[in-house]
Structure 1
Amino acid sequence: MNLRRGLTFALGSVLLGSAAQLGMRWSMSRLPPPEHWFTVSVDVTAVAVVLTAILAYALSMLCWLAALRDVPLGRAYALLSISYALVYLIAAALPVFNEGFSLSKSLGVALVILGVITIHSRPAHAPELRSAP
């Protein structure tokens, strides 16, 4: 087991998943409802970003599968919550998403990050294998 490699893949999954979420949000705010996609003109750039976001999701899943080879599930899963914080912070910081900061959301993000730090504050130990009696 290579914990560093696993954490790298887990963080890659978080970054790709977060980028995919932001890409989907940006695109879908520029596209008509799906029932009108074939009857009105659509923004080709927005469609390209949706397709790129889908690819980012697929790559995120591959990174996640690679991470699970080397990181205990409880620790790896905690890292996924960083994505919630990252998406919130980027969406609120960039005017293109028309989101805003709020005290309650920011406090929630701080608690999520604190939880991840708490889970990862101790070194991971491989579970002991017991022989059958």
Structure 2
Amino acid sequence: MNKGYLWVLGSAILVTIAQLSLKAGVMELPSFALGWHWLQIDWLLTNTVSLSIIFVGLVCYALSMLCWLFALKFIALNKAYPLISLSYVFVYILAVVLPWFNEPATWLKAAGIGFILLGVWLISRPTVQQTKNIK
């Protein structure tokens, strides 16, 4: 397996963690609105856990970008970019499975996930030219 695929997978997993962390963090905030309360120390201290979870999400985004740069070094962009859509699959599944997100599963959403997986499979298959080169 090309190590570029491992970098793409790492990027997709980190984006998944980032998305779920951001969602979990903002769900715990009493209100999510821009305002001066973000600069008040008592508000920051009261919401340290939520803000820490959000911070973890932002760090995971940064690490995901680093993985993405390495992935692009080893994989063509027209293959790498569709593969990153695996993060949509991971986020959907975990949001449905993990009870604190309380996200509903529907057949229509599951079909959408199926189409994403089909697309990833079609993109990641060896091309006819690659098959000829192997022989």
Could you tell me which residue of structure 2 aligns to residue 57 of structure 1? 61
Cα distance in structure 2, aligned partners of 1:121 and 1:53: 32
**1:33 matched to 2:32:** yes
Could you list the runs of 4 or more consecutive aligned residues of structure 1 that deviate by over 3 angstroms after TM superposition? 36-42
Cα distance in structure 2, aligned partners of 1:82 and 1:9: 13
**What do you get for the CA RMSD once the two structures are aligned?**
1.7
1:75-99 deviations in Å (ceiling 9; x for gaps)? 1001111111110110011110110
Cα distance in structure 1, aligned partners of 2:117 and 2:124: 11
- Residue ranges of structure 2 left out of the alignment (5+ in a row): 131-135
- Given that 1:21 and 1:53 are in contact with CA atoms closer than 8 Å, whether structure 2 keeps it comes out as yes
Identical aligned residues as a percent: 35
Could you tell me which residue of structure 1 aligns to residue 111 of structure 2? 107
> What secondary structure does 1:6 align onto?
helix
Cα distance in structure 1, aligned partners of 2:67 and 2:48: 29
Cα deviation for residue 100 of structure 1 reads 1.1
Among 109, 117, 123, the alignment partner of 2:121 is 117
Number of equivalences: 123
1:41-84 deviations in Å (ceiling 9; x for gaps)? 34211111111111100000000001000001111001111111
> What secondary structure does 2:88 align onto?
helix
TM-score, length of structure 1 as denominator length: 0.85
Cα distance in structure 1, aligned partners of 2:101 and 2:27: 9
- Residue ranges of structure 1 left out of the alignment (5+ in a row): 126-133
